[in-house]
Amino acid sequence: MDYKHLNPSRSSNIVVIACLAVTVSHATCWGCKRAKGKGQRAKGKGERGKGKVEYLAFSAVSMQALQSTTLRVSPLDPLRNRNPSKGGKRVFFVSATVAPKVSAPQRQKEPKKRVVITGMGLASVFGNDVDGYYEKLLSGESGISLIDRFDASKFPTRFGGQIRGFSSEGYIDGKNDRRLDDCLRYCIVAGKKALENADLPSDKLSKLDKERAGVLVGSGMGGLTVFSDGVQNLIEKGHRKITPFFIPYAITNMGSALLGIDLGFMGPNYSISTACATSNYCFYAAANHIRRGEADLMIAGGTEAAIIPIGLGGFVACRALSQRNDDPRTASRPWDKDRDGFVMGEGAGVLVMESLEHAMKRGAPIIAEYLGGAVNCDAYHMTDPRSDGLGVSSCIQSSLEDAGVSPEEVNYINAHATSTLAGDLAEINAIKKVFKDTSGIKINATKSMIGHCLGAAGGLEAIATVKAITTGWLHPTINQFNPEPAVDFDTVANVKQQHEVNVAISNSFGFGGHNSVVAFSAFRP
């Protein structure tokens, strides 16, 4: 389309806007189709040009309207009052609408779109029982010890939150149990225990519409042991010694897949892998499947089993781990001046998320409510967080908007707080950007006791967050010996505190700049 006849120098005629945030595509105007010969109008009075309009022309009145901060161009309204000849002027009119005034955030009210937590399941360094897990956290017990799963004596870091005595009896048949990577075993057991907690044992599953039940359990690394063993067999014995289960049991989606196969759940089923932000990404995505009407029930969370030589060695190479080998129990010390890196952990944390309507119809035990969440990216560095916390603060703000919650309503934060030099303060800086008055906010770090469980971290911490809501007790952040002055929050240092939680958020961030925040509260009909 030829725009040369739109002469911006003739201010009495038109104003041409060349750069607009919103453009109208495939619109047509009267008299824009130029025939040969200067000034000649296209044949056929009122014939419309068929070119794609990427430039919008506005009258002076329209320009004044656009300059107002309270007006917004609507690309959905048609161009009106188009007249090819009105006083020799060509005028386009685009309607402008007044933006609504900002009001207090509104929480979801529709039962089909409200998402509630009806079950929780886990595999952790403190066992497979949710109540037992939280009792250990409340007591301030450290689950960190020297690694004995393999010979770690030559590693600079020789400790972690290693799970011992894990049993899948009653949840996985013996033949499969011997083949599976621990990452998958943790996932399956945690998922089935979460269903039991949701009053959905195996004999009641037939009552569900399984086409509307899904699984979304992620992992940062997938079946790392299976992968490592397969590579070792290839190098030492040749390709014929690679097990046919190598690929299926190594890929990250297999936890969700196997759990879905066991349960017969035919709804949305996949895995998200965003490093240590994985679990929260899964909660956010699962809730959105429910809110969009694609599922009634989702099992969501994260699983990880990376305390093996290649996993430990990889993080050592990143210089990310604490090397406090002489005192492992005090090694994970978020917000302490003497912190020297994070401590590896492992396990799985899973929630059963349902629409309120579905949960009420089946008489489910409603534990808490998922209010909303958000995910974004720092777009800054492969492993380092932004020191100003911009990406994280934006993610927190977006999660509150999605939840229909104002910053003033939040009075508890389960922090990502990994015990790294840069990460701990970057998160604090981000929190301060969003919450101007922090005097009423309690903040704690689950990782101080169980270590950093990578892709499963957000799942295990979401369970701790929900238990804080239901019990009225916050677990301590242990190993607070020499606090950072910049952390001017109540970190629930070393001793549990009683606290009535109004709204809680749980933060999880991962390598690659992945940020995720989810919000929970007590269920109120």
Number of Cβ within a 10 Å radius of residue 459: 37
Distance CA 179, CA 169 (A): 14
3-state secondary structure of 429: helix
Number of Cβ within a 10 Å radius of residue 213: 26
Tokens at 461, concatenated: 């911490």
**Catalytic residue of the set 32, 183, 395, 416:** 416
**Catalytic residue of the set 29, 32, 183, 276:** 276
Tokens at 500, concatenated: 């009535």
Give 297's contacts (C-beta < 8 A, 6+ positions apart).
Answer: 208, 212, 213, 214, 267, 290, 352, 353, 354, 355, 358
Amino acid at the residue 135? E
26 belongs to the catalytic site: no
**Catalytic residue of the set 358, 452, 475, 499:** 452
452 belongs to the catalytic site: yes
Tokens at 11, concatenated: 């201010």
Number of Cβ within a 10 Å radius of residue 219: 33
213-218/297-304 β-pairing: parallel
Q: What is the H or E stretch that residue 428 is in? A: helix 421-434
Strand partners, 504: 412, 520
- Provide the angle, in degrees to the nearest 10, between the axes of the packed helices 457-471 and 278-291: 70
410-414/442-444 β-pairing: parallel
Distance CA 193, CA 119 (A): 8
Number of Cβ within a 10 Å radius of residue 434: 20
**Cα 31 vs. chain centroid, distance in angstroms?**
52
DSSP label at residue 99: P
276 belongs to the catalytic site: yes
**Active site positions, annotated:** 276, 416, 452
